[in-house]
């Protein structure tokens, strides 16, 4: 009887191994995210979305966050090359500079690795699809709300810097959002894309145009600089400030009422959706045995005010990859 029991349990173990071992000990599939400013709150939200999507899809999926600590598209391209070398199943990337990164993106796709761009696109590459904000529409939404804040009449200054196409699109949209009202853009400050430069540039703009009663910060850095600039010219509480995104200083300024609001993109949804698209690109469908993905997915924006700041007071923090 004892021998029979031993043989019975041996058979059960063998059967169990044949059934569960392939899943239990399967090699994990790596999906990497590459960003141009690792550690930023915006991209931490995006990576949180990616990681959550991966958990929902498959316990055997691993995610990894890579990218430089300072804006360097060549380092991003190198990070893509490293993920290719590691045998990544998919790559999600925001293009700090599309021209610089196109070759690395194309190399990954040529190796059969789907590449989904998010936030900042590389439309001339062979990327699989793009997930992110339609910047013109984001700017247009901001323009319409600014016009409402000013009661349909007033003069506005914009803070931005030359070069990035997405900023051009935001400002074009902002101006179009003002159409049909008596609100107009009268000046543009060059903040050089830096927090430290924004205060001085916007202060100079307000001194040259004292009639300004609204400021649109076209990206994440100049909002807090606008708060300081308004104080410098003694007009705190008199000028409406519209920020962009929800980095820590912006959240603080909106929470304190120093800024009326900010254009909230949805980086969490970008990361979540981009991961889903990268995974879907590896799945075959019943239609013709290949994947079917949209060329672009718009994740939209919302104007966030003081009452909306709660979820953004404690952003996620990640240290992953290289």
Q: How confident is the model at residue 93 (pLDDT cuts 50, 70, 90)?
A: very high
Task: Answer yes or no: is pLDDT of 198 > 70.
Answer: yes
For residues 119 and 202, give the distance between their C-alpha atoms in angstroms, rounded to a whole number: 26
For residues 62 and 188, give the distance between their C-alpha atoms in angstroms, rounded to a whole number: 45
Task: Answer yes or no: is pLDDT of 136 > 60.
Answer: yes
Q: How confident is the model at residue 39 (pLDDT cuts 50, 70, 90)?
A: confident
Instruction: Extract long-range pairs of 103-111: CB within 8 Å, 24+ residues apart.
Output: 103/77, 104/76, 104/77, 104/78, 104/80, 105/80, 107/80, 107/81, 108/80, 108/83, 108/84, 111/84
**Range with lowest mean pLDDT among 3-17, 249-263, 270-284:** 3-17
Task: Answer yes or no: is pLDDT of 220 > 50.
Answer: yes
Task: Answer yes or no: is pLDDT of 6 > 60.
Answer: no
Task: Answer yes or no: is pLDDT of 16 > 50.
Answer: no
Task: Answer yes or no: is pLDDT of 18 > 90.
Answer: no
Closest CA to 120 of 82, 169, 87: 169
Task: Answer yes or no: is pLDDT of 32 > 90.
Answer: yes
Task: Answer yes or no: is pLDDT of 154 > 50.
Answer: yes
| Model confidence pLDDT, tens digit, residues 163-186 | 777 899 999 999 999 999 999 999
Task: Answer yes or no: is pLDDT of 206 > 70.
Answer: yes
For residues 82 and 7, give the distance between their C-alpha atoms in angstroms, rounded to a whole number: 49
The strand pair at 261-264 and 302-304 is best described as antiparallel
| pLDDT computed for residue 252 by the predictor | 96
Closest CA to 160 of 133, 135, 188, 179: 188
**Range with lowest mean pLDDT among 15-19, 84-88, 199-203, 271-275:** 15-19
Number of alpha carbons in the 13 Å side-chain half-sphere of residue 164:
19
Task: Spell out the residues 6+ positions from residue 246 whose beta carbon is closer than 8 angstroms to its own.
Answer: 41, 42, 254, 262, 264, 304, 309, 312
Domains belonging to the chain, first-starting first, are: 27-133+266-300 (3.40.50.2300), 135-264 (3.40.50.2300)
H or E element that contains 32 = strand 29-34
Which carries the bigger pLDDT value, residue 107 or residue 96? 107
């Amino acid at each position: 009887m004892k021998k029979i029991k031993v043989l019975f349990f041996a058979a059960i173990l063998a059967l169990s191994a044949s059934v569960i071992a392939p899943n239990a000990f399967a090699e994990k599939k790596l999906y990497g995210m590459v960003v141009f400013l690792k550690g930023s709150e915006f991209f931490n939200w995006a990576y949180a979305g990616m990681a959550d999507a991966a958990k929902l899809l498959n316990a055997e999926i691993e995610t990894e966050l890579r990218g430089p600590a300072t804006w360097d598209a060549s380092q991003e391209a190198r990070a893509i090359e490293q993920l290719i070398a590691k045998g990544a199943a998919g790559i999600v990337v925001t293009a700090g500079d599309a021209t610089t990164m196109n070759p690395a993106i194309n190399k990954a796709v040529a190796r059969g690795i789907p590449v989904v761009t998010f936030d900042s696109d590389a439309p001339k590459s062979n990327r699989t699809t793009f997930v992110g904000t339609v910047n013109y529409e984001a700017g247009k939404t901001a323009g319409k709300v600014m016009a409402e804040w000013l009661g349909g009449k007033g003069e506005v200054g914009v803070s931005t810097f030359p070069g990035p196409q997405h900023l051009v699109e935001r400002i074009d949209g902002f101006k179009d959002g003002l159409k049909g009202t008596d609100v107009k853009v009268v000046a543009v400050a060059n903040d050089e894309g830096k927090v430290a430069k924004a205060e001085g540039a916007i202060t100079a703009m307000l001194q040259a145009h004292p009639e300004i009663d609204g400021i649109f910060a076209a990206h994440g850095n100049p909002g807090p600089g606008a708060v300081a600039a308004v104080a410098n010219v003694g007009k705190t509480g008199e000028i409406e400030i519209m920020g962009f995104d929800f980095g820590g200083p912006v959240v603080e300024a909106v929470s304190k009422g120093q800024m009326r609001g900010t254009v909230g993109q949805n980086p969490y949804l970008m990361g979540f959706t981009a991961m889903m698209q990268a995974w879907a690109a590896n799945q075959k469908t019943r239609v013709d045995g290949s994947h079917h993905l949209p060329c672009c997915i718009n994740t939209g924006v919302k104007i966030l005010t003081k009452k909306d700041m709660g979820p953004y007071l404690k952003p996620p923090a990640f240290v992953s990859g290289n």
